Structure 1
Amino acid sequence: MLSTLFGLITVAETVMLGMVIALRRRQPDWALALLALVLLGLVWDNAVIAIGATVGEGDTLEALSFPRYAAHGVLVPLLIMVGVGLARRYDVRFFTGATAPAAFGAVTVLLITIGIWLDIVTLDLEPTRYAGTLRYTNAAAHGPPIPAVATILILIAIGALLLARTRWPWLLIGSIAMFAAAAAAVAGFWIGNVGELILILTIWFTATRRMNPQPAVSAASGPSKQH
Structure 2
Amino acid sequence: MAAFLYPVYTIATLGLAIWGISLFQQSHRISEILLIVVLSGMIYDNFIVSVGHVINEGTLLKLLNRLRFLFHNLFVPLLVVIAINLAYIAGVTWASNPIVYKGCWAIAIGLITLGLVTDFRQLELIPTTFAGTLRYKPKSCRVPILKILTILLVAVVVFYIWCQTQWLWMFMGTLIMLVGNILPKSVFGSLVGSAVDYVFILAMLTTELIMPN
Q: What residue identity is the alignment partner of 1:15?
A: G
Q: What residue identity is the alignment partner of 1:74?
A: L
Partner residue, 1:175: 174
**What root-mean-square deviation, in Å, do the aligned CA atoms of Structure 1 and Structure 2 show?**
1.3
Equivalent residues, number? 211
Q: What residue identity is the alignment partner of 1:199?
A: F
User: Hey, what's the Cα distance between the residues in 2 that align with 1:111 and 1:100?
Assistant: 16
Instruction: Give the C-alpha shift of residue 85 in structure 1.
Output: 0.6
Q: Deviations along 1:176-197, whole A, 9 cap, x unmatched?
A: 0001111224321210110100
Tell me if the contact between 1:185 and 1:192 (Cα under 8 Å) persists in the aligned partners.
no
Residues 1-227 of structure 1: pairs in structure 2 closer than 5 A: 1-139=1-139, 141-186=140-185, 187-188=187-188, 189-211=190-212
* Secondary structure, aligned partner of 2:135: strand
- Which of the two has higher C-alpha Rg? 1
Q: Deviations along 1:139-177, whole A, 9 cap, x unmatched?
A: 2x4531221111111111111101100101121111000
Structure of greater relative contact order (alpha carbons < 8 Å, 6+ residues apart): 2
Instruction: Give the C-alpha shift of residue 125 in structure 1.
Output: 1.4
Q: Share of identical aligned residues, percent?
A: 27
- Between stretches 32-41 and 182-191, larger displacement belongs to 182-191
Q: Deviations along 1:34-58, whole A, 9 cap, x unmatched?
A: 1110000000000001111222111
| Structure number having the greater helix percentage | 2
Q: What residue identity is the alignment partner of 2:112?
A: I
* Secondary structure, aligned partner of 1:70: helix
User: Hey, what's the Cα distance between the residues in 2 that align with 1:145 and 1:2?
Assistant: 21
Tell me if the contact between 1:48 and 1:65 (Cα under 8 Å) persists in the aligned partners.
yes
Instruction: Give the C-alpha shift of residue 205 in structure 1.
Output: 0.4
Q: What residue identity is the alignment partner of 1:32?
A: E
Extract structure 1 runs of 4+ deviating beyond 6 A.
none
Q: What residue identity is the alignment partner of 1:146?
A: I
Tell me if the contact between 2:126 and 2:137 (Cα under 8 Å) persists in the aligned partners.
yes
Partner residue, 1:221: none
Structure 2: unaligned runs, 5 residues or longer: none
User: Hey, what's the Cα distance between the residues in 2 that align with 1:190 and 1:89?
Assistant: 33
Q: What residue identity is the alignment partner of 1:50?
A: S
User: Hey, what's the Cα distance between the residues in 1 that align with 2:184 and 2:201?
Assistant: 18
Structure 1: unaligned runs, 5 residues or longer: 213-227
User: Hey, what's the Cα distance between the residues in 1 that align with 2:96 and 2:55?
Assistant: 49
Change (3 A) 1:69 1:51: same
* Secondary structure, aligned partner of 2:134: strand
- Between stretches 146-155 and 36-45, larger displacement belongs to 146-155
Q: Deviations along 1:104-145, whole A, 9 cap, x unmatched?
A: 221111100011124431121110111211110122x45312
User: Hey, what's the Cα distance between the residues in 2 that align with 1:112 and 1:3?
Assistant: 30
* Secondary structure, aligned partner of 1:134: strand
Q: What residue identity is the alignment partner of 2:83?
A: G
* Secondary structure, aligned partner of 2:3: helix
User: Hey, what's the Cα distance between the residues in 2 that align with 1:68 and 1:131?
Assistant: 19
User: Hey, what's the Cα distance between the residues in 2 that align with 1:100 and 1:90?
Assistant: 15
